Amino acid sequence: MALIVQKYGGSSVGSIEKIRKVAERVIEACESGNRLVVVLSAMAGQTDALIKLSKEIAETPDSRELDVLMATGEQVSVSLFAMAVKSMGYDCRSLLGFQAAIHTDQIYGKARIRNIDTDRLLKELDKNRIVAVAGFQGIDEGRNITTLGRGGSDTTAVALAAALKADLCEIFTDVEGVFSADPNICTHAKKLKRISHEEMLELASLGAKVLEIRSVEFAKKFNVPIHVRSSFTRNEGTMVVSENKEMEKVMVSGVVFDRNQARITMVKVPDRPGIAFKIFDPVFKAGIVVDMIIQNTSAEGLVDLTFTVTKTDFQETLELVREVAKEIGAEKVLGDQNIAKVSIVGLGMRNHAGVATTMFEALSKDNINISMISTSEIKISCVIEEKYTELAVRALHEAFGLGDEKEKN
């Protein structure tokens, strides 16, 4: 008898009818001889409605109380789900964060799970009950309600699977799985049968919105196999699993892009020790994440320093950096929001030479200029002009033979 953790997102439980469908699907898995823990998000729209309500009462709602408010969303879905299951003749219990003993730190709004005390969960499972756990929420040392931040239900599911040593964690979502590229851009994009946690991490952090990144970190750390699949079809989705030898044969698994990027260049910076710290310290202190950083020597004793941030942080960063530029006597600061980042990800890169060359060649063929490059062990990212995004994704997808016609997995 396998133990399976299933997670259904907001769109999968967006109405009474959909909750009933989810209940049927869970019961089916139960009937096949499995024990089931089901993690649910708030009904679609609910979270936004609650945020709106909080903004009506206070411009900057208190973060502790915001978590108390937000946690009601999942409380509603799990209780309705449990009612549906029970009305179908199966035993079921809903558990909230404090009941499932999901202990977190005290960072309201984006708490991190520290540990899960599985006593209560196991007790309910031992009574042959389907256990419905409210996603996204936990409890801190002082028994205050915390929430894990947007997409936190994925993390709840993976963390539960890890704590319960579940055989599988199934993430049901509104897409069919993880694709070699965005199917809206590449009509030939192929659903990947299997990728590694490492690749999924790169894909998640690069903008593929299938799985919340922290959930993948958790899955990697505790070696939890995840099955990402659609809640609206019966098709097999994508298995996200521990790396194995077989996988390394594949050079590139997917192409992703991120339009939420902007570039800032500080021109002619006097090159002195500690200058980088001086420039980035106020940026980091403002909680802004800097992605790529490139430094070129421009003239004797002077350097140009270029880096990227999200478009969201662009204006604030520009102001901070202009301040610093004056202080340290840099010539000027330039900004550009018309950029995008395209990346290729694949375990095989480690052992295959020439992957970068193929990438650069494919882009140059279509006259796409590369303005920044960054690489990791299993990923290469290029910054290009934003208007070329789709073209670049299609060119790379084809260059690495990722499409439907050439089955690769």
In the complex with its own copies, the residue whose CB is nearer, 83 or 399, is 83
Angle value at C-alpha 273, between 267 and 274, nearest 5 degrees: 80
* Contact with its own copies (CB under 8 A) among 53, 286, 289, 328: 53
Residue from 32, 87, 115, 223 binding its own copies (CB under 8 A): 87
Give the nearer residue to its own copies in terms of CB position, either 58 or 286.
Answer: 58
Q: Least Å distance between CB 144 and its own copies?
A: 8
- State the DSSP string of 278-333: HHHHHHHHTTPPP--EEEEEEETTEEEEEEEE-HHHHHHHHHHHHHHHHHHT-SEE
Closest approach, Cβ 16 to its own copies, in A, equals 5
| Spatial separation of the C-alpha atoms in residues 127 and 117, rounded to whole Å | 18
CB 176 within 8 A of CB 230: yes
Among 56, 377, 405, 407, binds its own copies (CB under 8 A): 56
Residue 127 CA to residue 124 CA, distance in Å, equals 5
Residue 209 is encoded by which pair of tokens?
């919105």
Binding-site member from 4, 13, 82, 121 for its own copies (CB under 8 A):
82
Are 179 and 257 a contacting pair, CB within 8 Å?
no
Shortest distance (Å) from residue 143 CB to its own copies: 6
Q: Quote the crossing angle between the two packed helices 311-328 and 275-285, to the nearest 10°.
A: 140
Q: How far is the CB of 22 from its own copies (least distance, A)?
A: 11
Residue in 48, 62, 141, 323 binding its own copies, rule: CB under 8 A: 62
Rounded distance between C-alpha atoms, residue 363 and residue 343, angstroms: 12
Among 3, 29, 51, 68, binds its own copies (CB under 8 A): 68
- State whether the Cα torsion 214-215-220-223 is positive or negative: positive
User: Is 98 strand, coil or helix?
Assistant: coil
Residue number, 65 or 217, with CB nearest to its own copies = 65
State the Cα–Cα distance between residues 397 and 409, nearest whole angstrom. 15
User: Looking at 11, 34, 118, 144, which residue binds its own copies (CB under 8 A)?
Assistant: 144
* Residue 118 touches its own copies, criterion: CB under 8 A: no
- Binding status of residue 80 toward its own copies by CB under 8 A: yes
Q: Which residues of 138-172 are buried (b: 16+ CB within 10 A; e: fewer)?
A: bbbeeebbbbbbebbbbbbbbbbbbbbebebbbbb
Per-residue contact track with its own copies, 8 to 47, x per CB under 8 A? --------x--xx---------------------------
Q: Least distance to its own copies from the beta carbon of 150, Å?
A: 18
93-112 positions binding its own copies, by CB under 8 A: 93-94, 96, 98-99
Minimum distance between the CB of residue 126 and its own copies, rounded to whole angstroms?
14
Give 74 or 182: the residue with its C-beta nearer to its own copies.
74
- Nearer to its own copies by Cβ, of 52 and 285: the residue is 52
Q: Which two tokens stand for residue 326?
A: 């004056």
Q: Which chain residues interact with its own copies by CB under 8 A?
A: 16, 19-20, 50, 53-54, 56-62, 64-66, 68-69, 71-72, 75-76, 78-80, 82-84, 86-87, 93-94, 96, 98-99, 120, 143-145
